[in-house]
Amino acid sequence: CCPPVCDCVWTDWIDTSYPDSSDRNSGDYETFENIVKKNSSWVCAKAEDISCRAEKFPDIPIADLGQIVECSVNTGLICNNKDQHTGGTIQMPVCLNYEISVCCIPNIPECITSTTTSTTTAPPSSTS
């Protein structure tokens, strides 16, 4: 009958990592890899969108916090303590504790397969 609904679904806020403020080589790593390590049942077949926020400042866009943070649909969130400097909006020389929410495509084969498999035949283009 009908094709499955393949709209992405937002997860709850996820916070699996807490930055160690005493270790310059530490940071906050809300990566998909770490989430699966902490919760083996977590599945996000394909992340279509991601939202990242500081746990203590949920209403401030992370770009406005003055921290160097990577928030990407490919990996999740990465914040390294050594990249942070005092003098930003938040006077912290280490990473804040961040959390992420991911918009995941449902884990059904029809949704995961690449949409580029459909072929359309176009009339030959004339360049005259």
pLDDT per position as a tens digit, 45-101: 889 999 999 999 999 999 889 899 999 999 999 999 999 987 666 667 899 999 999
- Is the Cα torsion angle 4, 10, 16, 21 positive or negative in sign? positive
Q: What does the DSSP 8-state code read for residue 120?
A: -
Q: Which residues contact 89 (CB under 8 A, 6 or more apart)?
A: 60, 64, 65, 66
pTM over the 0.75 mark: yes
User: SS3 for 53?
Assistant: strand
Beta-strand pair 76-80/27-31 = antiparallel
pLDDT for 54: 96
Extended strands (E) in the chain: 9-10, 27-31, 46-54, 70-72, 76-80, 98-105
Mean pLDDT of 14-36: 93
When pLDDT is cut at 50, 70 and 90, the band that residue 106 belongs to is confident
Q: What is the DSSP letter of 127?
A: -
Is 42 buried (19+), middle (13-18) or exposed (0-12) by CB count in 10 A?
middle
